[in-house]
């Protein structure tokens, strides 16, 4: 029997890479999507095929561009003949803290297109293949409490895109349920760069007093959650938004000096 096929956007590094490793471990073929980091994407694909009984492929595409999305999905279908799991991990983020009124038009467009419209592009392309098979999994990424439409100071564009994605996630879940397709959202907590590709074992002996569970979050925490949603027996779970935060309040971890737009403790 052929393996299921997963497309993970933005997966040459970080949470996407860790998710690719987890799915490959479960025997799922993986398509690594990258925008610029070809070397790391190709290296990861080679490692997956070396270490697990799966096929892997790296494909370049900017998922905020419709033409790139069509080419990406076309390559997956041509190579694998199927596309069963779509994980929308890619999404731009502006690190600089900016008030909404200070965003440039191109910055705003990049946030909305990269985090919301890209999910529309890819989901529209893959859903027909999933419907044909009567099975599919779509996983989207949000942020802590995105399903409550909270204010997020200095993150207006990113937050607006992800809150919109909550509604899109739940709408697609209802529309595609009859076709055996589930659509869910995972909301990572404050997982810092050095831990995005780490395992849970890597942080077991390290304490994090800012997180209620007492340790830092890792890429494995997120990957395990995504893998659960991809299981055959998870077909009763759809339209769900799940926080993987260790209990930490990500949005209000800082107090803000609104005059200087700087973080203060």
User: Would you say 190 and 253 are in contact if contact means Cβ atoms under 8 Å apart?
Assistant: yes
- Per-residue pLDDT at 253: 60
pLDDT tens, position by position, 57-74: 999 999 999 999 999 999
Domain that holds residue 152: 5-264
Query: What's the Cα-to-Cα distance from 45 to each of 18, 49, 55, 243, rounded to whole Å?
Result: 12, 6, 8, 29
Confidence tier at 255 by pLDDT (50, 70, 90):
very low
Structure tokens at 180: 């055996």
Question: Residue 136: which of 124, 144, 148 has the closest Cα?
Answer: 124
Measured in degrees and rounded to the nearest 5, phi and psi for residue 72 equal -60, -55
pLDDT tens, position by position, 83-138: 999 999 999 999 999 999 999 999 999 999 999 999 999 999 999 999 999 999 99
Confidence tier at 250 by pLDDT (50, 70, 90):
confident
* Mean pLDDT of the region 159-181: 98
List the beta bridge partners of residue 264.
255
We report the CATH number of the domain holding residue 98 as: 3.40.50.720
* Residue 218 DSSP class: -
The number of domains in the chain is 1
Q: Give the chain's length.
A: 265
* Beta-strand relationship, 136-141 and 56-60: unpaired
- Per-residue pLDDT at 2: 78
């Amino acid at each position: 029997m052929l393996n299921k096929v997963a497309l993970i956007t933005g997966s040459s590094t970080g949470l996407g890479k860790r998710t690719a490793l987890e799915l490959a471990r479960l025997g799922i073929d993986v398509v690594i999507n990258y925008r610029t980091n070809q070397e790391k994407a190709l290296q990861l694909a080679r490692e997956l095929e070396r270490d697990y009984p799966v096929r892997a492929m790296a494909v370049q595409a900017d998922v905020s561009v419709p033409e790139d999305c069509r080419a990406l999905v076309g390559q997956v279908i041509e190579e694998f003949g199927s596309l069963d799991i779509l994980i929308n991990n890619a999404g731009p983020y502006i690190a600089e803290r900016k008030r909404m009124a200070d965003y440039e038009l191109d910055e705003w467009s990049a946030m909305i297109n990269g985090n919301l419209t890209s999910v529309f592009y890819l989901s529209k392309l893959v859903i027909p293949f999933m419907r044909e098979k009567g099975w599919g999994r779509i996983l989207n990424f949000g942020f802590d409490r995105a399903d409550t439409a909270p204010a997020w100071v200095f993150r207006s564009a990113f937050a607006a895109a992800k809150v919109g994605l909550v509604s899109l996630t739940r709408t697609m879940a209802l529309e595609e349920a009859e076709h055996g397709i589930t659509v869910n959202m995972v909301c990572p907590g404050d997982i810092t760069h050095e831990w995005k590709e780490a395992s849970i074992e890597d942080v077991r002996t390290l304490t994090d007093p800012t997180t209620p569970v007492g340790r830092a979050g890792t890429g494995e925490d997120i990957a395990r959650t995504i893998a659960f949603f991809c299981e055959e027996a998870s077909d009763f779970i759809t339209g769900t938004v799940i926080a993987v935060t260790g209990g930490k309040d990500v949005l209000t971890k800082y107090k803000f000096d609104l005059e200087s737009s700087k973080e203060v403790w």
